[in-house]
Amino acid sequence: MARSGLERGLIHVYTGDGKGKTTAALGLAFRASGHGLKTYIIQFMKGKRNYGELLIARKLSPNLTIFPAGRDQFVNRRSPDTVDIDLAKKGLARAKEIIKEGKHDLFILDEINVALDYKLVDLNDVMDLIKNKPAKMEIVLTGRYAPKEIIEAADLVTEMREIKHYYKEGIASRKGIDW
């Protein structure tokens, strides 16, 4: 599993209201690590709860690192708590470092589209991350409500469209499947 890196890094967006955005990004990280690529994931608006991905990430260490940049609490979209804004800003600061260091092949900004929609982070800052990315770094942005500027900048955009979801049948989020 010698690490050869990517020849050229592209930009992916996984958006829409259906299940599969974060999980697709996690699957990419998992696959990439099979080829010795190094992945860094910043999870916006998520804390350090015992998410399956956090529990298993160390198994793929040092090829996979996850940085939680939120807390597991309801965020008020109309007037977000300063705690939530501060945590998102820490995530953004870490993102700038990752871009600057350029040591990772795959960089996943999980739920950043939602953080943008909630105005926890600023679109100009995210566009700067994309513009300044190292040529060989692949960037993945997930979350509903991807703004058109990000969609325009992307090389690949998939809309995960909800056709059916068991949440609507009253089945709650389940350990091992939803987190």
**Which residues contact a copy of itself by CB under 8 A?**
1, 4, 6-8, 10, 12-14, 16, 18-35, 37, 50-57, 59-60, 105-106, 138, 151, 154-166, 169, 171, 174-177, 179
Give the residue among 3, 7, 26, 53 at the shortest CA–CA distance from 142. Answer: 26
In this structure, the strands spanning 106-110 and 39-44 are parallel
145-160 residues labelled b (16+ CB within 10 A) or e (exposed): ebbeebeebbeebeeb
Instruction: Decide whether 54 or 127 has the Cβ nearer to a copy of itself.
Output: 54
In the bound state with a copy of itself, the residue whose beta carbon lies nearer, of 92 and 146, is 146
Note every long-range contact of 53-57, with CB atoms under 8 Å and residues 24 or more positions apart, other chains counting.
Answer: 53/26
Q: In the bound complex, what is the minimum distance in angstroms from residue 106's beta carbon to a copy of itself? A: 8
CB of 55 to a copy of itself, least distance (A): 3
* Cβ 20 to a copy of itself shortest distance, Å: 4
Is cis: bond before 62, omega within 30 of 0?
yes
Beta carbon of residue 11, minimum distance to a copy of itself (angstroms, whole number):
9
Q: At 66, list the tokens.
A: 């996850």
DSSP letter (8 states) at residue 173: P
Q: Please identify, using beta-carbon distances, which residue of 29 and 95 lies nearer to a copy of itself.
A: 29
**Considering beta carbons, is residue 10 or 83 the nearer one to a copy of itself?**
10
Nearest distance in Å: CB 82, a copy of itself: 31
Residue among 123 and 171 whose Cβ is closer to a copy of itself: 171
Q: Helix, strand or coil for residue 92?
A: helix
Which tokens belong to 25?
């990004």
